[in-house]
Structure 1
Amino acid sequence: MMRQLPSLAAVRVFEAAARLENFTAAANELGMTQAAVSYQVKSLEERLGAPLFVRERGRARLSALGRQLQPALTQALDAIEAAFAVTRAEDEATLTVATTQTFANSWLAWRLGGFQVAHPDLAVRLTTGDRMLDLGAGEADVSIRSGLGDWPRLEAHRLMNIDFTPMAGPRFLAQVEAELGRPLQPGDLAELPLISPEDPWWDSWFAAAGVAPGERRRGGGLRLDSQANEGHAAMGGRGFALLTPVFWTNDIAEGRLVQPFATLGTRGFAYWLCYPPERRTVAKVRRFRDWLLARFDEERSR
């Protein structure tokens, strides 16, 4: 059933004027002109068909009807304010970050603890997946996305370029080079097991390495849905995976992966921090943005 409610704007104005018993004071509280307050009260009186105030010089005294309505309306507006205050407090206390599984597992999860130590009052909820959440609809506060940075109605900050190069587990690479009887060359990969061999990014890397497209064997091979899974498959000796070096720094340093070539491929993509422009001054968004950009600046300067 449709609610039979008067204008909530008029109710709000009446409540302030009734509580203060002064139109000028109500106008100051609400950031309105006195004329606007008078107009809203008059419109409510016309709807009710009875006066809410007895006008006196310098004072608006409540009528009997006004005295009857004022306590209930004040209580109702207090309840509405409290409900929104709880929601606002919950929203301000939790930051929801959406990103890909690869970025989360290979970079963000390792560093997110530093943000929470710096901001112990703010809980962080990390959600991963390839679906782009609707930030405008509030599905997440911020998103870290891969692409060209041209998403409509979003402010985007470039974090890092996405480049890539083949990597493998050290035992697998040693076995391959033993069979070849020499160090691995880029052209050799055309006939060796590749992880996700149908990924078009392989073509970009082979082109950067000077390997003609027709030389590469296609089909077969293990196919996985994320770079995170591909990297772990490479560690397990399943073949060469095309990986972004910055995501695998620890694994390379600790000997779980080997990067045999310095050649990097790129398709012009980058990772971006995104959020709706109207959210740029929200405290939790600003704090996370400043921390994240500072971390990337720090790591680039090393």
Structure 2
Amino acid sequence: MSALPPLTSIRAFEAVARHLSFTRAAEELGMTQAAVSYQIRILEERVGAPLFLRRPRQIALSETGARLAPDVTKAFDTLRETFADSRGLVDGMLSISSVPTFASHWLAANIGLFQLANPEIAVRVEASPHLVDFGTEEFDVAIRATSRLQDGLVWNLLLKAEFAPMLSPRLVEEYQVRDPADLLRVPQITPDDPWLYAWLELAGVSVPPTPDRPFSRLGSQNLEAAAAIAGRGVAMVTPAFYADDVASGRLVQPFDITGWDGHGYYLTYPEARRNSPKIKAFRDWIVPATEGLRSSQGRSE
């Protein structure tokens, strides 16, 4: 199989053949007229025949050029359509990586509203604690719980990761939880949870030493809240995520005191892509949509 001529030369030929003008082809390609003429000469040398007939103030395709032009134009039309279709698929799919707690307690219940407002955008959500590398992974945006805002990314605060103790109504009565210190008598789902000790200090309770016996860690708010609902103990969770559980009586937040250590749930994406239409559409939807979560906060002492 013989090698193709340089693609730059083929591209220049296609443009000149379409416009029948070196000047207009040069403008389209962002090249000088001399550079276009040079590329055509390279192609003519490879073909072994003139491709254009130079006439005063106009050019015309030679016999060889006229035979080549339709197939070359068709090939470039196919490439244009292929890349246009690919661009449409990329622009029409929004890939979101979200920490599991936010994904399960807010995003899953509300993402359908975004799709109703933006029917031209399909959505793929992956719930994972994994930190996305936008340079190597095919995600458009991520929702992360962090206090360290990395350079090169845009960070939109969705809500502060406040924390407070929650437990089942049965345990509230069983252990007669009336004051913050009463929580020390209740089993702790994660006994070494730093949120627990920070909250106790905030509530003016002397902090007991960390237990030195072995214990289990569930590792996520989702699992800890599920254990609390099941009556296994006190869980330190973000109240904004569990308003429905409190309203339904599955959980109780016995005290209004909430703590905050600087962590927040953020929508983040590369600065270079901040004007991508699908990212802008999602940002312009989710920031106002989470306003209710943020407005319920700010009660920390």
TM-score range for the pair, normalised by the shorter chain length: 0.7 to 0.9
The 5 A counterparts of 1:1-302 are 4-46=3-45, 50-177=49-176, 183-217=177-211, 219-301=213-295
Preserved CA contact (<8 Å) 1:149 1:158: no
Per the TM alignment, residue 47 of structure 1 is displaced from its structure 2 partner at its CA by 5.3
In structure 2, the CA distance between the partners of 1:42 and 1:32, relative to structure 1 (3 Å rule), is: same
- TM-score, L = length of structure 1: 0.87
Measure the CA separation in 2 of the matches of 1:256 and 1:148: 30
Q: Which moved more, 1:189-198 or 1:289-298?
A: 189-198
Deviations 1:60-89 (A, max 9, x none): 323344334322322222222222122112
Secondary structure of the residue that 2:132 maps to in structure 1? coil
Deviations 1:19-63 (A, max 9, x none): 222112223333444334223333444555654323222223233
In structure 2, the CA distance between the partners of 1:90 and 1:247, relative to structure 1 (3 Å rule), is: same
Measure the CA separation in 2 of the matches of 1:161 and 1:295: 15
Preserved CA contact (<8 Å) 1:190 1:216: no
Secondary structure of the residue that 1:266 maps to in structure 2? coil
Preserved CA contact (<8 Å) 2:192 2:210: no
Alignment identity in percent?
43
| Equivalence for 1:180 | none
Preserved CA contact (<8 Å) 2:146 2:264: yes
In structure 2, the CA distance between the partners of 1:187 and 1:221, relative to structure 1 (3 Å rule), is: farther
Count of aligned residue pairs for this structure pair = 296
Preserved CA contact (<8 Å) 1:149 1:272: no
CA root-mean-square deviation: 2.5
- TM-score, L = length of structure 2: 0.88
Letter in 1 for 2:129: D
Preserved CA contact (<8 Å) 1:136 1:276: no
In structure 2, the CA distance between the partners of 1:198 and 1:64, relative to structure 1 (3 Å rule), is: farther
Per the TM alignment, residue 187 of structure 1 is displaced from its structure 2 partner at its CA by 3.0
Measure the CA separation in 1 of the matches of 2:43 and 2:197: 71
For structure 1, list consecutive stretches of 5 or more residues without a partner in the other structure: 178-182
Measure the CA separation in 1 of the matches of 2:138 and 2:213: 38
For structure 2, list consecutive stretches of 5 or more residues without a partner in the other structure: 297-301
Measure the CA separation in 2 of the matches of 1:49 and 1:142: 52
